[in-house]
């Protein structure tokens, strides 16, 4: 395990303390973030800041992409061009 994983419990507690301190020192920021919601019939359903943070936490785990391979694949012009052509020029007419 690397340093981050070994000290994960400590990181969690430090982030909790930082969040509490930020809420005490800048209560307007907390109210502003709390007001950023998607509402349905006047009731807040989804907190946008929390949804964004959850997305960035879960997305790399879900896709398990080796980004070095993505960069290498992007350098191959013909397969990328073919994929773009099919997705943007052919697929809209077949859906």
* DSSP code, position 66: -
Treating both helix axes as pointing N-terminal to C-terminal, what angle do 77-85 and 67-74 enclose, rounded to 10 degrees?
90
Total of domains in the chain: 1
In a domain, 74, yes or no: yes
Q: Which residues contact 30 (CB under 8 A, 6 or more apart)?
A: 22, 23
Residue 44 inside a domain? The answer is no
Domain for residue 78, yes or no?
Answer: yes
The residue segments making up the domain with residue 88 are: 66-95
Instruction: Name the pLDDT band for 1 (thresholds 50, 70, 90).
Output: low
Q: What pLDDT does 64 receive?
A: 81
Q: Is residue 42 part of a domain?
A: no
For residue 85, the model assigns a pLDDT of 94
The pLDDT assigned to 95 comes to 74
Task: Let me know if residue 77 belongs to a domain.
Answer: yes
The pLDDT tens digits of the residues spanning 20-46 come to 998 899 989 888 988 898 888 888 888
Note the pLDDT of residue 93: 87
* 73 inside domain: yes
- 7 lies in a domain? no
Does residue 84 fall inside a structural domain?
yes
pLDDT digits (tens, 9 = 90+) for 46-71: 889 999 999 988 887 878 878 788 88
């Amino acid at each position: 395990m690397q340093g981050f994983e070994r000290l994960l419990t400590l990181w969690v507690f430090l982030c909790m303390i930082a969040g509490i301190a930020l809420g005490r020192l800048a209560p307007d920021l907390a109210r502003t973030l709390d007001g950023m919601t998607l509402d349905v019939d006047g009731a807040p359903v989804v907190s946008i800041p929390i949804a964004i943070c959850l997305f960035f936490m879960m997305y790399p785990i879900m896709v398990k992409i080796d980004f070095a391979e993505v960069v290498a694949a992007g350098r191959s012009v013909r397969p990328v061009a073919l994929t773009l052509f099919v997705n943007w020029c052919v697929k809209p007419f077949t859906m």
